[in-house]
Structure 1
Amino acid sequence: MRVVADIPNPHVKITLHSYNGKYILKIEKANLEQIYKIDETEVDGDEGVKALIDEEFIELVLNRFQDMRDAFVSSLRRNA
């Protein structure tokens, strides 16, 4: 897997990889991560992937991170 770009964002760490005909968009916040696999034929190169990362997408990603954290914390409380 080859790192194509680190995409700056004040809220999350975003890394774009290329592997086996796909772009792998890895988004990290604290100890959680989200990965999106995008077929190279679906976008116009690296810049096409970067264009997908708009304000609305980041907002939804941040909400999903909150949901992930809430689910994990709830599980810890139930099972600790």
Structure 2
Amino acid sequence: MRVVREISKEGIRISLFDWNNKYLLKFDSGMVEQTFKVPAMDVLDEKDLDQLLEGSFFDKVKERFDEMRQSLHIAMENI
């Protein structure tokens, strides 16, 4: 697995990996993370993946993090 790039945006650590003819786009925020796999054949240039770091896709990632944190908090209260 090759690390292509790591950045931080709005408190979210974003890592891009190249692995087995796929790009793995990993978003990490505190105790939760999201990983998306994109076939390398669908990407002409690695910079094309930058579109996933903004706009509605990134907004949905942030919303999902809020939902994940809330779910984890509720689950931990029941332990």
TM-score normalised according to structure 2 size: 0.89
Structure 1: which 5+ residue stretches go unaligned? none
For 1:8 and 1:72, how far apart are their aligned partners in 2?
A: 23
TM-score normalised according to structure 1 size: 0.88
Is the 8 Å Cα contact of residues 52 and 58 (structure 2) preserved in structure 1?
A: no
CA RMSD after TM alignment: 1.2
| Percent identity for Structure 1 against Structure 2 | 29
Is the 8 Å Cα contact of residues 22 and 38 (structure 2) preserved in structure 1?
A: yes
State the Cα distance separating 1:49 from its structure 2 match: 1.1
SS at match of 2:49: helix
4+ long deviations beyond 6 Å: none
For 1:52 and 1:59, how far apart are their aligned partners in 2?
A: 10
For 2:75 and 2:20, how far apart are their aligned partners in 1?
A: 35
For 2:70 and 2:31, how far apart are their aligned partners in 1?
A: 13
Is the 8 Å Cα contact of residues 3 and 17 (structure 2) preserved in structure 1?
A: yes
Structure 2: which 5+ residue stretches go unaligned? none
Structure with a larger share of its residues in strand? 2
Q: Are 2:12 and 1:17 equivalent residues in the alignment?
A: no
